[in-house]
Amino acid sequence: MGTIDGLPPLREVLQAHDLVARKQLGQNFILDLNLTARIARAAGDLSACDVLEVGPGPGGLTRGLLIEGARRVLVVEKDPRCLPALEEIAATVPGRLQIVLGDALAVDVRSMLTPPIKVVANLPYNVGTELLIRWLTPAVWPPFWSSLTLMFQREVAERIVAKPRTDHYGRLALLAQWRADARIVMTLPPEAFTPAPKVHSAVVHLTALPEPRYPCDGAVLQRITAMAFNQRRKMLRSSLKALAPGIEGVLESVGIPPTARAEEIGLEAFCALARAVAP
């Protein structure tokens, strides 16, 4: 049995398995193992955790996670062409790497994981935001994961960590920050990937809070923020008119000026409003 460190460089792996990147699968691979090790380290101590990795591709980040000591890594990959490269890694770490072939939006792998569970992924951009929203909106909280360490286009990363009165502030920031601590831990230029995408990327680290930061019904909060930010330049008394009769009075009762715009209002005030209008 070989060791992970004895595996061939990723560029050779791509050639050996004829893994030409496919755009429709969001395939922008990271071939620098120092970089994948840094991303794995950004997830914190992995030694007592199961790690879920979505979209391992040829396995650069997977190697990093295993080298950094993850107890077990479960990868979900849609492209069957990646399986031989992943199986070569698995053979060097008996029992520690499980490979699932499938669409991460369709397969439910939670029963295959033992808590504590960390999610670490260089996500395909086309499914990244959808997966994040699903992970942030489970039926029960706390969720199955304790932290998410995820690569996004930098603009999406900025939307996740944005604060009020900034350009990127909106629904995604409120959703993420309601139930998690979120920060950008790394930014990467296009050249870090093969092939290079058009945009910069960033890694966001989210830690699940034991309970939401401020109490309120998640569905009501989402409805309010959707209404408020779909017309972000309008005053709230107008964008939220259909929310409740006498919306001006309701806004005032929770300390929100009815003439304020969505981007000026912080999470705590949105949660207070959600409580005020909850059925």
* Residue with smaller CB distance to ligand SAM, 7 or 82: 82
CB of 244 to ligand SAM, least distance (A): 39
* Residue with smaller CB distance to ligand SAM, 30 or 247: 30
Which tokens go with 102? 């499938």
CB of 82 to ligand SAM, least distance (A): 6
Stretch that binds ligand SAM, among 91-99, 101-109, 172-180, 218-226 (CB under 6 A): 101-109
**Is residue 26 a contact point for ligand SAM (CB under 6 A)?**
yes
**Is residue 235 a contact point for ligand SAM (CB under 6 A)?**
no
| Strand runs labelled E in the chain | 50-54, 72-77, 97-101, 117-122, 147-153, 180-188, 201-208
Question: CB–CB of 228/265 below 8 Å?
Answer: yes
Bridging pattern class, strands 201-208 and 180-188: antiparallel
* Residue with smaller CB distance to ligand SAM, 76 or 224: 76
* Residue with smaller CB distance to ligand SAM, 28 or 239: 28
Q: How many helices (H) and strands (E) would you count in the chain? A: 11, 7
CB of 226 to ligand SAM, least distance (A): 25
Among 49, 85, 127, 251, binds ligand SAM (CB under 6 A): 127
CB of 43 to ligand SAM, least distance (A): 14
Would you give the binding string for ligand SAM spanning residues 60-99, x where CB under 6 A is met? xx--------------xxxx--x-----------------
Sequence-ordered list of residues with C-beta below 8 angstroms from that of 269, at least 6 positions apart, any chain: 254, 255, 256
Element (H, E) at 267: helix 267-277
Q: Which residue is nearest to ligand SAM (CB)?
A: 55
**Phi first, then psi: what are they for 213, rounded to 5°?**
-60, -40
Question: CB–CB of 130/179 below 8 Å?
Answer: no
According to DSSP, residue 216 is labeled S
- Compute how many other C-beta atoms are within 10 angstroms of the C-beta atom of residue 210: 7
> Total binding residues for ligand SAM by CB under 6 A?
23
Residues forming the site for ligand SAM (CB under 6 A): 25-30, 54-57, 60-61, 76-79, 82, 103-105, 122, 124, 127
